[in-house]
Amino acid sequence: MMRFAVAFFAFAIVNLATAQENVGALPELSLAQLSDRSFGTLGQAALAISPADWKHAETKNFVYHFFHSFIATPVSVEAEFYYGIVAKELEKDTAQWERKSHIFIFEKPEEWAAFQQKGALDPWTGGLHANGELFIQRNPEFKWKGSTLGHEIAHLVVHRFFGNGVPLWLNEGYAEYSASRGYAAFYRARGYAARPKSRSMAPEDFIPLGQLTTLVAYPQDVLRVHAFYAESERLARFLSGVNKRGFGTFLEALSKGNRFDSALSKGYGSRFSSLDALESEFKAYASKDHDATPSN
């Protein structure tokens, strides 16, 4: 499995580099020409902001809504790249999907702020996946775009294959883990010495797993939000590193309503006898610096 993962990432990086060299501007389509014109509440709210200025285009898996093609074109390359990585890692086949997901690309901070207000989003939200629609901000003044798109693409694939039953910590933790790897791979393809990183946690910030794994809403305290994301990412990374295929089984079991201990047993057998046994091993891992590699 590790050799397969390394080979896949190398193959993906070469393909991405080739795509970047050959890609032209996205061909614009009218709204009426789009293969899918069904919008959720947030999609409709987005299109109501500067409605005369939105442009539209499509690629294999996505429909794009944007203001300038020079912003949307690189987003389309990244989106398909991240999509392929996540689907491949979770061993899911997307060939039979007929409907495409929508990506709305905001450029100006004031337009994103207007969307945050219309959608009643948290003020710290930099991107959002909601029922198959993605909303991101791409300010053309910033060279480094960050891992937000990869994070939201991971949410999208998990939502499509596992539905709405994935627990909050696992949904966010896997998205963070996947995005850090995909973002580093994307920039390695452009000649940068990028490697994904996983931040260690201060012991005093550790959230007991019995609490973390039962959260149904984000912490109210912003500092606790950071701790929640960091610990969720490291737990997803840890479990995937122990047994990648078992991690997929574990994820699917939780998405179908299994109790944590039951899902843990299905994915990892006797490796962890209980949540307490997992916490005992994971707590030490969470507090150590850890450099991730594409084979993890």
Q: Give the closest residue to 86 by CA, choosing from 18, 141, 15, 150.
A: 150
Whether residue 273 is predicted with pLDDT greater than 90 in this model: the reply is no
More confident residue, 12 or 73: 73
Q: How many CA atoms lie within 13 A of 92 on its CB side?
A: 20
Q: Quick one: DSSP state of residue 207? A: P
Confidence of residue 197 (pLDDT cuts 50, 70, 90): low
Given pLDDT bands bounded at 50, 70 and 90, which one contains residue 44?
Answer: very high
pLDDT of amino acid 181: 61
In this predicted structure, the answer to whether residue 191 has a pLDDT above a threshold of 70 is no
Checking if the pLDDT of 282 tops 90, the result is: yes
Domain boundaries, the chain: 2-165, 198-291
Please give the backbone phi and psi of residue 106, each rounded to the nearest 5 degrees, phi first: -95, 150
The pLDDT > 70 percentage for the chain reads 80
For 63, phi then psi, to 5°, come to: -110, 130
Evaluate whether 286 touches 206 at the Cβ level (below 8 Å).
Answer: yes
Taken in order 161, 164, 169, 171, the sign of the CA dihedral is positive
What is the chain's mean pLDDT, rounded? Answer: 82
> How confident is residue 13, by pLDDT bands cut at 50, 70 and 90?
very low
Once rounded to an integer, what is the mean pLDDT over residues 246-272?
95
- pLDDT interval class at 8 (50, 70, 90): very low
| Across 186-210, average pLDDT | 67
Q: What is the pLDDT of residue 147?
A: 67
- The stretch 197-204 carries a mean pLDDT of 76
Tell whether the model's pLDDT for residue 144 goes beyond 60.
Answer: no
Q: How far is the C-alpha of 81 from the C-alpha of 87, rounded, in Å?
A: 10
Whether 272 shows a pLDDT value over 60: the answer reads: yes
Q: What proportion of the chain, given as a percentage, has pLDDT over 90? A: 49
The pLDDT-based confidence of 143 (bands split at 50, 70, 90) is: low
pLDDT recorded at residue 232: 95
Is 254's pLDDT higher than 60? yes
Q: Could you tell me which residue, 294 or 288, shows the higher pLDDT?
A: 288
CATH class, 2-165 region: alpha beta
Maximum mean pLDDT: which of 132-136, 181-185, 247-251: 247-251
Q: How confident is the model at residue 84 (pLDDT cuts 50, 70, 90)?
A: confident
By CB atoms closer than 10 A (0-12, 13-18, 19+), residue 74 is: middle
Q: Is the pLDDT of residue 68 over 50?
A: yes
CB 209 within 8 A of CB 286: no
